[in-house]
Amino acid sequence: MVINSKLFNTIFQESINIYHIKDDINTPCPNPYEKGSIEHILFAKNWIDTVQWHMEDLIRMVDINPVDALKIKRDIDASNQVRTDTVEQFEDFLFAQYRHVKISPDARVNTETPGWAMDRLSILNLKLYHFKEELNREGISPAHFEKCKKKVDVLEEQYKDLSNAIDALLEEIATGKCQIKVYRQMKMYNDEELNPMLRKK
């Protein structure tokens, strides 16, 4: 199996395109890949990001009902927890994939794990999709088009750079030049024992 940024980007774009067929945050995730596979994890990860992207749009409506806004805010919080869990599933998969690699004595540890780099690439695919959508939106002014075009140019450069950086990191991990470590997010606010507001219950 070849694990690289091309695989990530292909599945992210597939997820984004399928979501926008209905463009509804309540659409269940139609993950077409076998559960436990890296493809399944990647599709699920981007689907979470895509739904959350649109929840973030909804909560910013100026005339939103405060009750609806609170529900969406709590849905975003819950989505963030699932997002974190999915990144950790991805990192567990990679850890198992590379568990037999002989680590070089002078192997470095990357400041960002492959999972969180993958997370940024997923979001970057979403940004590109929506900024390109703006370029094709009817009725926009030339000034708006130029503003969005400049942003697309920067995003495409970031997309290329991040994809290459992920590939380089994965290559270093596969050859033992970089040690892969699985870190867990030490979040407190969703834990009834650690969040004093929840503990009051």
- 169-178 per-position pLDDT tens digit: 999 999 999 9
As given in the structure block, the two tokens for residue 137 are 């939106």
pLDDT at 200 over 90: no
Q: Taking residues 89-112, what's their average pLDDT? A: 94
pLDDT at 191: 73
- How would residue 35 be classed by pLDDT, with cut points 50, 70 and 90? very high
With a CB cutoff of 8 Å and minimum separation 6, the contacts of 12 are 42, 46, 121, 122, 125, 126
pLDDT of residue 194: 72
Residue 167 to residue 152: CA distance in whole angstroms: 22
pLDDT of residue 184: 74
Using only C-alpha atoms, the chain has a radius of gyration, in whole angstroms, of 19
Q: What is the mean pLDDT of residues 149-164?
A: 98
pTM: 0.92
Terminal CA-CA length for the chain: 48
What average pLDDT score do residues 51-56 get? 97
Alpha-carbon 94 to chain mean position: 16
Task: Tell me the three state secondary structure of residue 178.
Answer: strand
Long-range (24+ apart) CB contacts under 8 A made by 134-141 are: none
> Looking at residue 81, what is its pLDDT?
93
| 107 in Cβ contact with 178 (< 8 Å) | yes
Mean pLDDT value across residues 85-102: 95
Mean pLDDT of all residues belonging to the chain: 94
Q: What is the pLDDT of residue 201?
A: 66
Please check whether residue 181 is in contact with residue 109, taking contact to mean a CB–CB distance below 8 angstroms: yes
177 half-sphere exposure, CB direction, 13 A CA radius: 6
